[in-house]
Chains A and B, each alone.
Chain A
Amino acid sequence: MDKTMSAAAVVGRLESGMTIGIGGWGPRRKPMALVREILRSDLKDLTVVAYGGADVGMLCAAGKIRKLVFAFVSLDFIPLEPYFRLARQAGSIETMEIDEGMFLLGLRAAAQRLPFLPTRVGLGTDVLARNPQIKTIVSPYADGRELVAMPALDLDAALLHVERADARGVCQVSGPDHYMDDVMARAAKQTFVSCDELVDSSFFADPARAREVFWERSETTGVVHIPGGAHPSSCSPMYGFDTAHFKTYAASAGEENGWQAYMETFVAGGEAHYQQQVGGLDAIRALPLPTY
């Protein structure tokens, strides 16, 4: 079985109005090349579900998002994501703002094909007041306590980035954290994974490598080979995030027509042009890992 495809083919499988999960966390291991392909497309009215970073900021700036499901949007070392802020302060996107853990439970409910999962999280806060679609239930057992019924976050598609994958969709994350990517893959009808390296299946014969696979290949719909495809986010241990590029990106939000200029300079010319503009693949792979 060969699941390899192009980024353009991935976007061809998406439709306006879909609910799309984006893996990674803040500025870490985001499928940015796939996001850029969306930026170049006619897709619109997306519901985006993400532990957000520049993926969310860029999609906000490009007017691709109708609704955002989020707990935070941050670039970590630049705590406040500039284009997300502008979109929120303009009131231009609908939101479902929930706790980071509720987010995980919503994905787990979708992955388990359940309508909801019960939790205490959210009780007593404006997460419930601001999201009337999130209902509470009363425990059917002796405790009789009120619980939040965190609704399933069913995804039409998930977009993920990993270090290595084979053509059948076996994916390796050897970096320190796979985040919620595994749950996102299971919560989605279709999961498209970009990878820095496309490897032969024999790569996974070593059990230590097989331990670095967090979902079965049946959860992977398509594999896109894009070396450096997480840039400007990190893909630890291969490369860190590009602080200089993030600063350029963040500064553009304060400039007149800043987003249009960013799009023209970096995105519009295609991925090969993008990599040329940011110094090339060798420069990406040489980005130092962050110190936390």
Chain B
Amino acid sequence: MSDSAYTLAELLVCAGSEAWRGDGEVLATGIGLLPRLAASLAMLSSSPDLMMTDSEAYLLSEPNPVGGRGADFRPKFETWMGFSRIFDNVWGGKRHAMVGPTQIDRFGQANISCIGDPAKPKAQMLGVRGFPGNSISHANSFFVPSHNTRVFKAGECDMVCSIGYNPARLPKGYSLDEVDIRLVVTDLCVMDFGGPDHQIRLRSLHPGITVEKVQENTSFPVFVPDDVVTTPAPTEAQLAIIRRMDPHNLRARELKDNPPGDRR
């Protein structure tokens, strides 16, 4: 496979893996297949000190490939990490999760609970899960496989599950700078909340995507600095790791029609 043949899913895995660069010894949690591959890629390349679970109850010294692994596969367990201990880790702050919200508002507040009035939702989803605790305790990045104005919605999220950069909701004695939202990786671009007053900011555009397209699909203004770059194509070394971590090519089923990474 040449560089020009990489898929969008592979581009997003590589872009997502950048979220953990420089994190050191923290628990890297990627919720969903592509964020999990992104965390695995980070641990196997740029950020070898990361920690990762088997998505069940143990830390692994090397990430497990996704999908069926064969009868002779032996995970490289290193530490018991049941759910109660996950909370010990979360509250201590040594974690960086990449999660997939259904809604994200201009403050970086996120929702996975429900759509509509929470008293009688139009669509019930998962519930707030660990979003409140994650967001006030440690670094978080967002993964958005379909960048549109329903996800990046106007106003506030229907159910604000995670704290963001919203002065009106800041608890007494806290600073907005304690909120730690890192990257927002979408199928169009990579953003963060590093604009003026924590405004959402464009960092890189995926090949073939314009600033206009990003803004059209975001319900609030995106800060566009002068130094927006093109999201780098996956390297051969990165693609080799991705293939090893996803031997059944499950990533090909994650994005509708499995589009190419370069849409020029």
Which residues of A are in contact with B by a Cβ distance under 8 Å? 25, 70-74, 79-80, 84-85, 88-91, 97-102, 104, 119-127, 129-130, 136, 138-139, 143-146, 176-180, 183, 291-292
Segment 72-119 of B: residues with Cβ below 8 Å from A: 82-84, 87, 90-91, 109, 113-114, 118-119
Q: List 15 A-B contacts (CB under 8 A).
A: A79-B126, A80-B125, A89-B124, A99-B129, A100-B129, A102-B133, A122-B132, A123-B132, A123-B163, A123-B174, A125-B131, A138-B173, A177-B57, A178-B84, A292-B55
Tell me whether B122 is interfacial, beta carbon within 8 Å.
yes
Contact indicator B82/A98 (Cβ below 8 Å): no
Tell me whether B159 is interfacial, beta carbon within 8 Å.
yes
Contact indicator B87/A71 (Cβ below 8 Å): no
| Residues of the B chain whose Cβ atoms lie less than 8 Å from the Cβ of A88 | 114, 120-121, 124
Contact indicator A97/B55 (Cβ below 8 Å): no
Contact indicator B174/A145 (Cβ below 8 Å): yes
Residue from the list A25, A127, A179, A291 in contact with B68, Cβ < 8 A: A291
In angstroms, Cα B88 to Cα A180, docked, is 13
Number of interface residues of B (CB under 8 A): 51
Tell me whether B161 is interfacial, beta carbon within 8 Å.
yes
The distance from the CB of A24 to the nearest CB of chain B, in whole angstroms, is 11
The distance from the CB of B260 to the nearest CB of chain A, in whole angstroms, is 28
Given A102-B133, A121-B132, A176-B82, the answer on whether A145 and B171 have CB atoms closer than 8 Å is yes
In angstroms, Cα B121 to Cα A292, docked, is 30
Residue from the list B90, B122, B137 in contact with A89, Cβ < 8 A: B122
Contact indicator B58/A145 (Cβ below 8 Å): no
Given A127-B132, A145-B171, the answer on whether A80 and B55 have CB atoms closer than 8 Å is no
Among B132, B160, B170, find the residue whose CB has the most chain A CB atoms closer than 10 A: B132
In angstroms, Cα B48 to Cα A35, docked, is 45
Contact indicator A179/B118 (Cβ below 8 Å): no
Contact indicator B68/A124 (Cβ below 8 Å): no
Which residues of B are in contact with A by a Cβ distance under 8 Å? 54-58, 64, 67-69, 82-84, 87, 90-91, 109, 113-114, 118-133, 135-137, 157, 159-164, 166, 169-174
Residue of B nearest to A79 (CB): B126
Contact indicator B91/A101 (Cβ below 8 Å): yes
Contact indicator B69/A291 (Cβ below 8 Å): yes
Contact indicator A98/B136 (Cβ below 8 Å): no
| Residues of the B chain whose Cβ atoms lie less than 8 Å from the Cβ of A90 | 120
| Residues of the B chain whose Cβ atoms lie less than 8 Å from the Cβ of A121 | 91, 132-133, 136-137
* Number of residue pairs spanning A and B whose beta carbons lie under 8 angstroms apart: 148
| Residues of the A chain whose Cβ atoms lie less than 8 Å from the Cβ of B122 | 89
Given A100-B130, A176-B82, A177-B56, the answer on whether A136 and B171 have CB atoms closer than 8 Å is yes
Beyond the given pairs A124-B170, A127-B132, 4 more chain A to chain B contacts, judged by CB atoms under 8 angstroms and listed by A's residue number, are: A124-B160, A146-B171, A176-B57, A291-B69
Residue from the list B133, B172, B174 in contact with A100, Cβ < 8 A: B133
Residue of B nearest to A73 (CB): B127
The distance from the CB of B23 to the nearest CB of chain A, in whole angstroms, is 21
| Residues of the A chain whose Cβ atoms lie less than 8 Å from the Cβ of B135 | 124-125
Among A84, A97, A143, find the residue whose CB has the most chain B CB atoms closer than 10 A: A97
Contact indicator A177/B83 (Cβ below 8 Å): yes
Contact indicator A143/B173 (Cβ below 8 Å): yes
Contact indicator A126/B91 (Cβ below 8 Å): no
In angstroms, Cα B84 to Cα A180, docked, is 7
The distance from the CB of A118 to the nearest CB of chain B, in whole angstroms, is 12
In angstroms, Cα B119 to Cα A84, docked, is 14
In angstroms, Cα B158 to Cα A129, docked, is 12
Contact indicator A89/B171 (Cβ below 8 Å): no
The distance from the CB of B67 to the nearest CB of chain A, in whole angstroms, is 7
